Chains A and B, each alone.
Chain A
């Protein structure tokens, strides 16, 4: 029995209300099998690759490290460990360019040119033997963070308190951002690991039911996961969802599957749901079964300005320039380099920063996709209200932001906005709505902290 059938909507895919339909551009890379990035000479590993406190370095300049060795330990509870992606020598611990635009402390490793780079770490205690506390600690030691993009430490999320039981575990394979295909390929090629990881996590959180949510444009992933679940004898419901942006936002996914809303200011766990990206779950399985901490991840390198769009398994710390070169480099038409998808991705000024745990895609666009349209006055057409998945009033918020009326913005629930960009996407007058709301949110927060 599928959720769709239960709801009596056999032919209608589940979804949330509102949202937008940008062109998908997934065909550039969705049939490209995951390739392994060759090892390069230098790796830069920022100590802050997650939300929370930076990791504390455990290595000195000149020290030899093996692939998978811990090179930095968690800086606090909301922090994770960091591991060497290659056999090599630490050449520096200092300030280096970070994808977020700042110069931040990082460990620099020169790869050993004579190493086979085979992972050679001792076997770990299997999750079946661990207590819950040991499991949480193991996830932190593995350096695992949410691989969907936010890079929130996974062990903090998995550490469910007794008074907030988890009813549903939802694995997020929606991948609603245009262009990105890394989660798609992971679900197809690592279906067994994903089901194994779900099984491991389910043991500790005791959810009543496990869902895997996938947008309906990835039918091969739906089939692969259903088969893997049947083979493993693990009860999972693979739910195809309507292709609509931002279907992969956890609130929207919960609304689509359960028809429930997450109350404002609360987390999914407050309604008994734990949401995790599919890649995170695969990383967890690989840690326990193959003793491989989070030292590499799958990244989609795509865009019409990339010569050979691909899905690449990349060791963390690899310079983006080398990764893009591996994908044939960019054409002269490139005008925007983004980390992540085109709707929420962060623009980069250069490729001189390393791949980090939260990098899901490198997207290089040309003028053809980036239509900078002229800005007209708001004609109050209401398209932004019909796009906003949270039922906010972006037209009003944008106006208030431009006037600097931060208190009024808060009154209009600016802080609930999760910056999906649907409002700016639809605005026929080309008004930078989400951009102004971002500014307003920052101003409201700054005034509050004073």
Chain B
């Protein structure tokens, strides 16, 4: 040897796949951009502000409380941005910004950091933030603004000062398709659900975009296909049975699939790898369980929407599923 190379001693394998955790996180984040843009299209500047507030809450918390990862700064693995954006997509467009910020703080602080940081949490952080907001601010989080083509005008109580108990601004509030269905048995046209011309949370309006994102994420193996497929198939099957029994009392399966946060939850929340089971058999139990609970809560529960609680409940069951549902090892 003419040159004197620096030889390193380590153990095989020496090749590595291209995918890394930060790359996966950022790619997941990029797929949320079109969905955010759709929200801006329907709800104007408010959508952008609510998202910014929620992401800011997540970033600040992660920066000050999060563990320094191998990249030095805990923000650079991208997971806090994704959590903030996902949380925002579950919020109504007229949501007070300070509440969105607090939601972000809770999502990262109580949904992730106290568990030990990236990869350690039992529950999906974005949904922890959302559950907190639902418990703390039940009125604000169920005050829905309809899409009305205004881009610059702020909606509802976006700029409400913290802890200010003002008169409820009820003039603009409308019912979501799910609450219309639940409380007055009036279904919304499926085409409106698919294209997003409805009131609802930022990210749950445009079903078509979510379906496209879902296909992309499955093709890129960022999302385990069994989760959205399991959830949606269960919801479809269960609600089809109910619909066949009594089409007047129960919503149609198509409505069930497209209304509310089901697609957003099935594509982005339930598929969080950290809080979903590892092995295929366990994943089927998990996703069928979510689908079943969603219909159960929507049809018989006190709330019009049940996706969040369905996912959180199955998140809680995940460690148990991982423990008891093991793949069959080769040769046994």
Contacts and interface: CB of A to CB of B under 8 A. Distances in A.
Given A342-B12, A428-B19, A305 B5 contact: yes
B327 A379 contact: no
A251 B331 contact: yes
A334 B14 CA distance: 13
A251 B330 contact: yes
A330 B329 contact: no
B102 interface: no
Contact of A380 (B1, B278, B330): B278
Q: How large is the interface on B (under 10, 10 to 19, 20 to 34, 35 or more residues)?
A: 35 or more
Nearest to B328: A391
A300 interface: no
Interface in A284-320: 305
Interface string B268-285: 000001101011000100
B21 to A, nearest CB: 4
A432 B5 contact: no
Nearest to A340: B12
A374 B331 CA distance: 34
Contact of A333 (B5, B10, B13, B274): B5
B13 A434 contact: yes
B7 A344 contact: no
A342 B15 contact: yes
B3 A428 contact: no
A321 B273 CA distance: 47
A428 B330 contact: no
Interface string A377-394: 111111101000111110
Given A346-B12, A380-B273, A261 B17 contact: no
A333 B326 CA distance: 44
Contacts of A345: 12, 14
Given A262-B331, A335-B6, A385-B279, A374 B15 contact: no
**Chain A CB within 10 Å, residue with most, of B8, B273, B330:** B330
Contact of B21 (A347, A379, A395, A416): A379
Contact of A424 (B13, B21, B24): B13
B212 interface: no
A385 B20 CA distance: 16
A329 B330 contact: no
B331 A376 contact: no
Contact of B14 (A20, A338, A413): A338
Consensus secondary structure, chain A interface:
loop
A83 interface: no
A342 B21 CA distance: 22
B11 interface: yes
B329 A374 contact: no
Contacts of A383: 19, 221
A374 B71 contact: yes
B278 A413 contact: no
B331 A261 contact: yes
B117 interface: yes
A264 B23 contact: no
Contacts of A374: 20, 69-71
Contacts of A200: none
Nearest to B326: A393
Interface in B109-128: 117-120
Nearest to B116: A377
Interface in B237-292: 273-274, 276, 278-279, 283
B273 A20 contact: no
B118 A377 contact: yes
B16 A332 contact: no
Interface string A216-246: 0000000000000000000000000000000
A275 interface: no
Contacts of A381: 24, 273
B20 A379 contact: no
A391 B20 contact: no
Interface string B155-176: 0000000000000000000000
Nearest to A369: B15
B329 A347 contact: no
A263 interface: yes
Contacts of B2: 329
Contacts of B70: 374-376
Contacts of A20: 17
Interface in B184-211: none
Contacts of A349: 7, 9
A334 B5 contact: yes
A121 interface: no
Nearest to A178: B15
A215 B119 CA distance: 38
Contact of B1 (A22, A265, A329, A375): A329
Given A382-B278, A396-B278, A371 B329 contact: no
A36 B71 CA distance: 49
A331 B6 CA distance: 11
A185 B123 CA distance: 54
Contacts of B330: 251, 255, 261, 264, 389-391, 416
A253 to B, nearest CB: 13
A335 B10 CA distance: 11
Contacts of B1: 321, 324-325, 329-330, 351
B332 interface: yes
A405 to B, nearest CB: 14
A365 interface: yes
Contacts of A64: none
Contact of A421 (B3, B13, B21): B13
Contact of B119 (A255, A351, A379): A379
A26 interface: no
A378 to B, nearest CB: 5
A23 interface: yes
Contacts of A391: 327-330
Interface string A325-369: 100011111111110101111110111000000000000010001
Contacts of B24: 379, 381, 428
Contact of A425 (B15, B118, B273, B283): B15
B120 to A, nearest CB: 7
Contacts of A262: 331
B14 A416 contact: no
Contacts of B283: 382
Nearest to A395: B278
A429 B23 CA distance: 10
Given A376-B69, A428-B21, 16 more contacts: A261-B330, A330-B5, A334-B5, A335-B8, A340-B12, A351-B1, A370-B15, A377-B69, A379-B24, A380-B274, A383-B221, A393-B326, A395-B278, A396-B322, A413-B329, A430-B21
15 contacts: A20-B17, A22-B17, A255-B330, A330-B3, A332-B4, A335-B7, A336-B8, A342-B13, A345-B14, A347-B12, A376-B119, A385-B279, A393-B326, A428-B17, A435-B11
User: Which 3 pairs of residues, A with B, have the shortest CB-CB distance?
Assistant: A421-B13, A377-B119, A332-B3
